[in-house]
Amino acid sequence: MTPTLTLPLQRYAVVLVNLGTPDEPTVPAIQRYLQQFLSDQRVVDYPAILWQCILRGIILPFRGRRVAKLYQSIWWDEGSPLRVITQRQTKALGNAMLMGGLPVQVRYAMTYGNPSIASVLDELRAQGVERFLVLPLYPQYSATTTAAISDQISSYLQQQRDLPEIRMQKHYHHLPAYRSALAGSVRAHWAKQGQADALLLSFHGIPERFVRLGDPYERHCRETAANLATDLGLTAEQVLVSFQSRVGKEQWLQPYTDQLLEKLPGQGIKKLQVLCPAFSADCLETLEEIAVENCEVFLHAGGEDYQYIKALNDSPCHIQLFRQLVLQQLQGW
Ligand SMILES: C=CC1=C(C)c2cc3[nH]c(cc4nc(cc5[nH]c(cc1n2)c(C)c5CCC(=O)O)C(CCC(=O)O)=C4C)c(C)c3C=C
Ligand SMILES: [Fe+2]
Ligand SMILES: [Fe+2]
Q: Is residue 149 part of a domain?
A: yes
pLDDT digits (tens, 9 = 90+) for 247-267: 999 999 999 999 999 999 999
**Same domain flag for 196 and 259:** yes
Is position 1 within any domain? no
Residues 214 and 284 in one domain: yes
3 inside domain? no
Q: Indicate the SS3 state at residue 296.
A: helix
pLDDT digits (tens, 9 = 90+) for 114-130: 999 999 999 999 999 99
Best probe residue, ligand 1, of 285, 288, 292, 294 (max atoms within 8 Å of C-beta): 285
**Helices and strands (H, E) in the chain, number of each type:** 12, 8
**Mean pLDDT for the chain overall:** 97
The CATH number of residue 272's host domain is 3.40.50.1400
Structural domain harbouring 125:
9-21+80-173+316-330
17 and 152 belong to one structural domain? yes
pLDDT of residue 230: 98
Q: How far is the CA of 246 from the centre of ligand 3 (A)?
A: 7
Distances in whole angstroms, Cα of residue 55 to Cα of each of 38, 100, 267: 8, 47, 40
| Amino acid in the structure at residue 248 | G
Say yes or no: 167 and 196 in one domain: no
Q: What is the ipTM of this complex?
A: 0.98
% residues pLDDT > 90 (the chain): 97
Which DSSP helix (H) or strand (E) runs through 109?
strand 105-110
The DSSP call for residue 265 is G
Q: How long is the chain? A: 333
By C-alpha distance, which of 230, 228, 177, 235 is closest to 203?
Answer: 228
Annotation: binding site for Fe(2+): 204, 285
The verdict on 145 and 287 lying in the same domain is no
Same domain, 17 and 106: yes
- Indicate whether 234 and 119 sit together in one domain: no
Residues 257 and 326 in one domain: no
Look at the chain and report how many structural domains it folds into.
Answer: 3
How far is ligand 1, taken at its centre, from the CA of residue 31, in Å? 14
Closest-lying ligand to the alpha carbon of 112? 1
**Are residues 164 and 15 part of one domain?**
yes
244 lines ligand 1 (CB under 6 A): no
pLDDT of 1 over the 90 cut: no
Residue 2: pLDDT band (50, 70, 90) is: confident
Q: Which helix (H) or strand (E) holds 244?
A: strand 239-244
Longest dimension (CA), the chain: 63
d(CA 80, CA 285): 12
Taking the CA of 284 as reference, the closest ligand is 1
Q: Check if 206 has its Cβ closer than 6 Å to any atom of ligand 1.
A: yes
Same domain (yes/no): 190, 137: no
pLDDT single digits (tens) 23-38: 999 999 999 999 999 9
2 assigned to some structural domain: no
pLDDT digits (tens, 9 = 90+) for 81-140: 999 999 999 999 999 999 999 999 999 999 999 999 999 999 999 999 999 999 999 999
Q: Are residues 107 and 254 in the same domain?
A: no
pLDDT exceeds 90 at position 9: yes
3-state SS, one letter per residue, for 200-212: EEEEECCEHHHHH
Residue 194 shares a structural domain with residue 295: yes
In a domain, 100, yes or no: yes
- Cα 130 from chain centroid? 27
Helical H runs in the chain? Answer: 27-38, 48-54, 60-74, 81-99, 117-126, 146-158, 176-193, 208-212, 217-232, 257-263, 294-300, 316-330
Ligand 1 within 6 A of CB of 69: no
End-to-end Cα spacing for the chain? 14
Half-sphere exposure of 128 (CA within 13 A, CB side): 7
Q: Is residue 4 part of a domain?
A: no
Whose CA is closest to 159, among 118, 195, 194, 120? 118
Kindly tell me if the per-residue pLDDT of 146 is higher than 90. yes
